[in-house]
């Protein structure tokens, strides 16, 4: 059945091929590139060059191309919360929030308002229809190395019913091969890797320093309460971090176990303390029916991490085996225990695993 589809074209090879697949299938296709960030960027995302790359591909494919300016919304919904999270000692996922609020929020709403039947992107994931319920479900992409179901795990059935992911059944090599066959200018374009508003020469520190004060913090040994070092900017430290702390006790490097930005206190401990079995969660969202307390699931805590077996406890997951600490602010994607490729929902970590660690050193011990 022929449908009218708006393709979010980032200027990269994946979205270029997504548009080509839909156009070749006979659908009524148009492309749209988003202007999100007006500041300096060299990440290969949201730049003028990306807009031009997308426009050239659209011209090659014979489809109309639009540019939508969402800079104000991006600032309000992605950048401002990103800064606020760091000020509170959290580690946010700006790309996931961009997907939630902008691409599958504002852009999807605009596409539907303009009369399109669906929104397509170049993400490596799959939307399938459940045979029993007839409802859409999100599954991992065919290329396990490029799977992006984690960054889409916050999508619910409401959005998935209007989303098309044409490259989800292809490997990255197959995507580039198709782009080469079509002589698309993006065929060999490198993937963007970084947060679009963080410039490589300024980094996260430089970006945040322009928007908020950064404060020094003491590094406090969790087991003894002893101050063992300091960092120049506690707001930049992530739970689970080892590099950059510059502290070792008894010849063993220390990891950040908790970050209290307000108290300017970071508790640290050896690697065997930088793991836990429980992660408290909030902001849970579901593709279909919510998990019930005691249900089994698989939880993935980073874009390229492995999913680990766990039990859902309504406001937390409890892992079967100790896992690296999860920084507050990070998304935890939940997969079906019986069908590991199927996303069932996602939530956001609120405290590091095993809250007993956070209580070892109270903020009042910091001088």
| 116-135: pLDDT as tens digits | 999 999 999 999 998 888 89
The pLDDT tens digits for 145-187 are 999 999 999 999 999 999 999 999 999 999 999 999 999 999 9
**How many whole angstroms separate alpha carbon 122 and alpha carbon 190?**
14
287-299 per-position pLDDT tens digit = 988 999 999 999 9
Note the pLDDT of residue 42. 52
Residue 46: active-site member: no
Tell me which of 45, 46, 95, 98 is the catalytic residue.
98
Domains in the chain, ordered, with CATH? 4-122+166-181 (3.40.50.620), 213-273 (2.30.30.280), 276-349 (2.40.30.10)
- pTM recorded for the entire structure: 0.91
CB-count burial class (<10 Å; 0-12, 13-18, 19+) for 217? buried
Instruction: Specify the pairing of strand 265-269 against strand 255-260.
Output: antiparallel
| Residue indicated by tokens 């730049």 | 47
- CA-to-CA distance for 253 and 242, rounded, in angstroms? 7
Which secondary structure element, helix H or strand E, spans residue 319, and what is its range? strand 316-324
Exactly one of 45, 95, 196, 265 is catalytic; name it: 196
* Cα 251 → chain centroid: 35
Q: Does 310 qualify as catalytic in the annotation?
A: no
- Return the higher-pLDDT residue of 351 and 191: 191
Around Cβ 272, how many Cβ atoms within 10 Å? 9
């Amino acid at each position: 059945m022929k449908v009218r589809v708006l393709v979010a074209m980032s200027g990269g090879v994946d979205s270029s091929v997504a548009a080509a697949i839909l156009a070749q299938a006979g659908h009524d296709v148009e492309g749209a590139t988003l202007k999100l960030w007006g500041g300096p960027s060299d990440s290969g995302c949201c730049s003028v060059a990306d807009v031009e790359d997308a426009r050239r591909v659209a011209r090659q494919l014979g489809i109309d191309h639009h540019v939508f300016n969402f800079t104000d919304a991006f600032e309000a919904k992605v950048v401002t919360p990103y800064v606020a999270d760091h000020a509170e000692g959290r580690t946010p996922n700006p790309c996931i929030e961009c997907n939630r609020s902008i691409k599958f929020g504002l852009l999807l709403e605009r596409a539907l308002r303009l009369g399109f039947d669906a929104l397509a992107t170049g993400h490596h994931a799959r939307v399938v229809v459940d045979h029993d319920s007839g409802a859409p479900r999100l599954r991992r992409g065919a290329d396990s190395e490029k799977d992006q179901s984690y960054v889409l795990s916050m999508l619910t059935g409401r959005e998935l019913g209007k989303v098309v992911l044409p490259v989800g059944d292809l490997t990255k090599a197959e995507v580039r091969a198709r782009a080469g066959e079509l002589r698309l200018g993006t065929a060999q374009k490198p993937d963007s890797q970084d947060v679009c508003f963080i410039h490589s020469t300024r980094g996260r520190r430089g970006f945040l320093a322009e928007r908020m004060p950064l404060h020094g913090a003491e590094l406090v040994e969790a087991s003894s309460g002893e101050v063992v070092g300091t960092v120049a900017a506690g707001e930049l430290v992530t739970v689970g971090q080892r590099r950059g702390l510059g502290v070792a006790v008894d010849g063993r490097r220390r990891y950040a176990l908790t970050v209290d930005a307000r108290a300017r206190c970071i508790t640290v401990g050896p690697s065997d303390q930088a793991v836990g079995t429980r992660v408290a969660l909030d902001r849970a969202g579901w593709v279909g029916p919510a998990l019930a307390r005691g249900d089994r699931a698989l939880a993935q805590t980073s874009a390229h991490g492995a999913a680990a077996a766990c039990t859902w406890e309504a406001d937390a997951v409890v892992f079967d085996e100790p896992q690296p600490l999860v920084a507050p602010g990070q998304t935890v994607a939940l997969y079906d225990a019986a069908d590991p490729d199927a996303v069932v929902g996602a939530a956001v970590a609120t405290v590091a695993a095993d809250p007993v660690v956070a209580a070892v050193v109270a903020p009042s011990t910091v001088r």
